[in-house]
Structure formats: C-alpha cells, structure tokens
Structure 1
C-alpha cells in the first residue's frame, strides 16, 4: 500500500507502460500534442462528473441530435483500447475519461492492467495526454461482474484538477492541463464483490465515496487537495449481502448540506464535513447501483436486488425515519442499474429490462409503464426538452417527457454500450465497447 503526493510537471507514464503497443500510440500522440493542447476551464455547458452539472442527468444544451447511426450525424469517432465503462466528462473543449488497458490481452483478467486517465480534444477526438495511475497485476483476485470493468467509476473535474477513482485499486488526482499526477492514494482497502462501480462526489474540499464491500461497508472522505483520509463512516445495517455500488448525492435541506448515500439495507444522510449521520431509513435490498435524485423535498432512490422498489423519502428528518418519512413506494419497474430522472412533477425510470415508467413524483401514481429499450445499464439524461436512453446493445432512444409515452426515434450504433451519456455543446458523447462517439448535427 502507498499514499503519495506528486509534484511532477509532466504526466506519469512509466517506461514499462510505454513499452507495450496499446499505450505506445497514446504516448506518441501526447508528445506531438503537448505543446498545443487546449487548457480546460469551467464553462456554462460543461459536464464535469457522472450525470452532469446538476448531478441528476439534466443539461441546458439545445440543438442535440434526435437521429444518428454509425454513419449519420457522427462528428467523429475515437477508437479506445482496453475495457472501461466509466462515462466521459467534458470541460470546455476537453474530454476526460478513465481507462483500463491490459498489458498483454485487454480481455484477459489474469493480465497486468494499466489503470489510466486520458484527455481528448472534443473538436476532433484526438488524444491530448494519457497518464498511467496504477499498475495492477491480476486484478481479478476479487472477481469482476461480466458487465463491470476495472475502470467503471466516472472521473470528476474541479478547479483545474481531475479526480480518478478505481475503487479498491486506488484514487488519484491529476492536473487537467497535462495529466501530471498531484497525488495518489491506494490505502483505502476492502474486499469488493463484482468489482467497482460507484463514483465519488466532491463537496467543500472533500472527495467522498462509498466502499460497500463483502463485509464491513463504509463511506470515506479524502482531502481533495492532498488525498489524505479525513473521515470514515461505518454503515450500520443488518444486511446479509453488504455490497453495493451507488454514487452519493449532495443536497441542501434547511440551509445545511446532506450527503445522501444508499447502501445495502440502508439509505444514509451524513454531514459531509464530519461524516456524522443526520438520518437514515432501512429497507430490504443489496447491490444498490443507481444514484439518487432529489426534488420536492424528497429523495428518490432504488433499493437494488432481489425485489427492487423505488422509494420517495422526505429529507428533513433526524435519526431513524423509516416509519415516519417514507412518502410512497413503487414496487414494479424499479431499476437495478440506471439512475432516474426527475423532470418537473414527473419521475422517469428505466428498468434494466428496458421498461420505461413515468410516475407522479409527489404521489407515486404511475402514469405509464411500457417496454421501450432492450437490456439497459446506462442512466438516461434530459436535454433540449427530451429524454435520451442508451441500451446495452448500442441503441439510443429519444422520448418526449409527459404522461403518455411519446417515442421520437430509435438509433443504432451497433456496438455494446453500458456507459452513460455526456453532453458537449449541441452534441452527445457516447462511449461504447471500442470507441467514443461524438454525435451531432454538424
């Protein structure tokens, strides 16, 4: 184990990493582009983390495409080595992603893997830099789900820095301009089940993420400036299966911030500065994946396996509010994996089997439940007055929100896709198994 703070002026790309073919091309591209790549700074339409600027899948962008294919409305396509299901983030005209590249065979779990963060030029998809953060031998030790990868958590941008999280393999911070490593921390150890998935969240100088593993699940906060541990909260729930993969959400209630984090059998609301619990509710469920959404004074979340439900809970409680603050529950059509969308008074959810549900967010009354997509893991987004859904076989669906299903289009890319969308200007960024696609109407 190691914890280190770096003060490099150049990206950390080891000689060993450069020597294998999958990374040689990346390094040469970086060397050619290093003197002229754009420097990122925050813009109004940036997509700085998982689920975008509001952390709940909303974008204010307009003019997004409603039709695309492998040949239609493709601005560019950038081939990607390795296997990773993290989503892209974009700041200005720079896209950031994490990646996991096998040194010998990127499909072999017994291989040595290079866990990386990279930057692309959003205007043409060209590589700007590619930095190795962790080098892991046989990462399959704890096993990984067939739909997971060694680089599933989405990175975060803030203040000229990129924070990249790889679960129990480690967490790191790099300079967004050139990929230079600022700090790394691989001391947060636990035994994952099915690999890593939940993304971290930044709040008031802290980087917070969940470590819901095979036993003793906890939430931890690192100092965003140095990477040192600031606090740790031990989950308290009587769950036979303690592993989950959800991403926390920071909300504000009565002028005070709350960090909302679902885990197996418990939804915890913590003081983000101290890690002390404000309130919690208990339920039956494990392997919780979706990020919660917040509105109307309520948290909306899904309870995971075996019988997923969607629960709406009022966020103004103290202590155990299981019997006092649950507003309503929906027991059919709840997602195992995709996060939900809250649009005005409508709560939209996509189940893993592709069923789309629209419910009244205040009462839980279901307006419709209809099968739209095929198997789905990506979280939908709301942009330009439309809902965008991506299924695992690479099909994209565009819907109009409302009390009745209104499907505008179905679009095929023909490549497996589990990553969620990002938005850049008037274009969609779609990560598939082999490439990053920029989809736009000119």
Structure 2
C-alpha cells in the first residue's frame, strides 16, 4: 500500500491507504459556501461515488437519468422482479447515461466529460442509492470506472478514450455499491449479488478475467440476505503472506490475489448488505457486519481454513454503522452509526471509550486529516472533531446539498462532493 505521508494523489475509495487517513494534510476546520471556499463546481447527474485525484485532476463518475413520470415509474417497477410492497423504497430510471468527469484541482474548471455508455431500462435501485455509487480507481495512466452490473470501463487519463470495457451481469437488488481495487495489475471486484456471490480478478490492462472464486455457502431464505456491497483491502500478515480481504454477507474471506485461492474464512453471522470497508491494525482486521444487527468484529488475519472458532478477538454489538466505514488512528477506532451517533472504541478490547450524538443520517465514511476527524451527513453538515479519549466537536459546517460521498484531503485542501457540486476548501 502507498504511504499516506508520501501521497500526492487520492487514487481510490478512502484515499491512498484505503482507510481515510491523510495524516500529513492540513485542510481547514471551518468552511462553508462563503468561507475558505477556493471553488465550487456544479456536477451533472446523480452519483454517490467519491472523488479520486491524480496529477492535479479530480475524477468523478456520474449517472444522468432519464426520469420517468409516476405512471411510467410504476410500469417500470412492475416489469422488475420486485414485490409491489417494496415499490415505495425503490427508484428506477427510463435510461441512464454513465459518464466520467474530470475537474482541474487548482481552479475547479471542468476538463472532460467522457461518455461511457447508455443503459436503457436499467434495474431498479434503492431510493437512497444512485446508479453511480462505486468510487473509481486511478491506476497509472488509467481510470477504472465500475458501475456493477451496468459496466466496468478502463479509460486513458490523457486522451479520454475507453481502452476496454466489460459487463459482468449481477442482480444487485438495490443497485451497485462495491468499489474496485487494483493491485499488482489485477482489478479485484467483489460481486455479491442476489443471484450469485463471487470475487473476481481482471487484468487491469486488458479486462481479461484472471480468476473467479465463488463465496462460501450461506444460510439464507432468499438472495436478499446474501447480497453485499463491500470494497476489498490488501493486507500482509506477520508471516509475510499477502491477502485480499473481501467482506461479504455472513462471511469475511481472505484470498490469494494471484490465484483466487482462499486462505481463510470467518463466519460473522446473518449480517447482509455489508457496506463498510474494513480497516487493519497489525495482524487484526476490524469489520462491520452489515444490516440486520450491525456489529464490529476484531479478528486475526494469520489463520488458515475456517477460523471462526479460533481467530475472533472481540465483538462489539452497540452503536455500529451499516453504511459508514470505521477509521483507525493512533490506537483508537472511530465511527458514526447511520443515525448520527459517533463512537470511539479501544481496538485491543472493543470497549467503548466515548459516544457523542452528532445528528442527521450518515452514509459517507469519515476522514482523518490535520489532527482532526471529519464526518459528513445527508443533511449537508460536516462535523469536525478532535481525536483521542477526550475528543470533542470543535466545528459544525454546513453545505447546500446532501453528502453521501466520502471526502478527500490533498494539497492541504478538503475536496468534498455533495449531490449537487464539487468543492475545494483551503
């Protein structure tokens, strides 16, 4: 993994190390629509994907929807496999235009709008999701854009041309969510749908499938409780064994990135629709178990086979998010649950250190930068906290829009996406 201290890019979901840590950055603590604002750039379409940054350019995906009338929406939903009882919680478009956008990091000027594909009559998604929720990955001269079942694209950063594209059909149930990971030339994708659950690796330069490994068997009455939306992480245990950890419904599984061979598996119960990306401390991984009854688990990563009875360090059943990822810094774990209660836990014991009500609904993952924690909610509030056992809220900032994407810190600036615009604060 890239050192956060050496980072001059923000290449993936949650930054250089994939964990929301930007220790060397010093973005502002106080900011708003008219305070410490370097620029604000309106964005087309609707997307919850987070911005990625390289060589002075911010890259974002989006989906421009052809919105149906209410009558058309009802007709489209009736043509899906969804139960009519679920229609109120679903959204659907007549068609979606998937695009990759680039914005100048210094000025905020739009640079390119790259048309990737148009999908006619796409599947329904959850009303709180978007058709472009997975965050892209910058790899060398390329940007990998993943939209789940709607397509995967490799784009040349210089020319804007599409070098290859693949479609890996999957029944997401409520839309795509898993972001891609590129490691040693392999594009790792978690494909946990209602119809099938597997992990696959593609050649990042060609899109050719290198390996595909099915998930362990699950005990669930329907595919709805088998689906998941997590993003993989690469770890190396104390024995020098490199692993790709892929959290899913009921199971956390470790794979060999070269071959897809399974190293170990851990059964975490009936949790499903898992979103939070795990974090690592030494030989211990910290994972949230998803919807149902979210819990935070700590497990050792140096095992082989089924490690359920041997490698669990502790479990914490209270105050755990089903969407936002945990953040681990300086010997403490920070997180915020779906309903706006932030908590801090001791990673050695799982004991609660403190709990604070921030307010609002949360999906975006937190950021650590410049000695502070940044938490953004659906209502457009960004809470800035100090760290440690006596942490406190030092500032509450407000933006015009909904925050679903996770922020980036680079150039001692905060890059933040709402449902309407992209901001730079410095």
Determine if the TM-score, normalized by the shorter chain, exceeds 0.5. Answer: yes
> 1:357 and 1:232 mapped to 2: Cα distance?
37
Secondary structure of the structure 1 residue equivalent to 2:266: strand
8 Å CA contact 1:83, 1:106 repeated in 2:
no
Does residue 128 in structure 1 map to residue 111 in structure 2? yes
CA deviations 1:320-366 (Å, max 9, x no partner) are 00000000000001110001111121011111111111111111111
Q: Following superposition of structure 1 onto structure 2, how do residues 29-428 of structure 1 map, counting pairs within 5 Å?
A: 44-103=7-66, 109-139=92-122, 141=123, 143-186=124-167, 188-240=168-220, 241-253=225-237, 254-284=239-269, 285-428=271-414
C-alpha deviations, 1:176-202, integer Å up to 9, x for none?
12311111111x112111000110111
Q: What secondary structure, in the 3-state scheme, does the structure 2 residue paired with 1:356 have?
A: strand
Cα distance between partner residues in 2 of 1:207 and 1:56: 19
How far apart are the structure 2 equivalents of 1:239 and 1:149?
A: 29
Structure 1 pair 239/68, CA: closer, same or farther in 2 (3 Å)?
Answer: farther
Q: Distance in 1 between matches of 2:400 and 2:23?
A: 28
Q: CA deviation at 1:102?
A: 2.4
Aligned-residue RMSD, C-alpha: 1.5
Once residues 63 and 420 of structure 1 are traced to their aligned partners in structure 2, the CA distance between those partners, rounded to angstroms, is 17
SS at match of 1:52: coil
Q: Normalising by the residue count of structure 1, what TM-score does the alignment of the two structures yield? A: 0.87
**Contact 1:237–1:264 (CA under 8 A) maintained in structure 2:** no
Deviation at 1:82, TM superposition (A): 0.6
Q: State the shift of 1:63 in Å.
A: 2.7
Kindly provide the CA deviation profile for residues 186-241 of structure 1, in whole angstroms up to 9, marking residues without a partner as x.
Answer: 1x112111000110111111001111111321111111010011111101132421
Structure 2: unaligned runs, 5 residues or longer: 1-5, 74-91
**Residue 374 of structure 1 contacts residue 393 of structure 1 at CA under 8 Å; is this kept in 2?**
yes
2:65 and 2:93 in contact (8 A); partners too: no
Kept after mapping to 1: 8 A contact 2:60/2:101: yes
